[in-house]
Amino acid sequence: MNENKITTAKDRPSRPRQNELKVKIHLTFFDRIKFLAFFSLVFFVLVWSDMANLPILSFNDAFINSFHARWWLIWLIVIELFRQLHFIICEFAAPYYQAWN
């Protein structure tokens, strides 16, 4: 016979704490790209806006103008790339992750 057994919190193991892990938990693909995609989308919308305001402006010229005028957005993309690189290293290299913990 199959008895229904009620499980309590003592019967279930809890997930390990962040400081008990040897490496960082792997991020999903969406978590990996969401900020990069957002910053890139904002940049290309601004390029498109420049092209719409001046119809004779080519994409290449609009891209270069936006690159120089909105340098802070490019820096956000670069910083996010380094942040993701840091996360990838933390997911695979235990000594590196322990040094940051």
Residues 6+ away with beta carbon under 8 Å from 96: 89, 90
pTM of the shown model: 0.71
How far, in Å, CA of 95 to CA of 88, rounded? 13
Cβ-proximal residues to 53 (8 Å cutoff; 6+ apart), any chain: none
User: 13-70: per-residue pLDDT in tens?
Assistant: 776 676 666 777 777 888 889 999 999 999 999 999 999 999 999 999 999 999 999 9
CA dist 98 and 95 (Å) reads 5
Q: Where are the domains of the chain?
A: 29-100
- Position 43 scores a pLDDT of 96
**Structure token pair of residue 63:** 């891209």
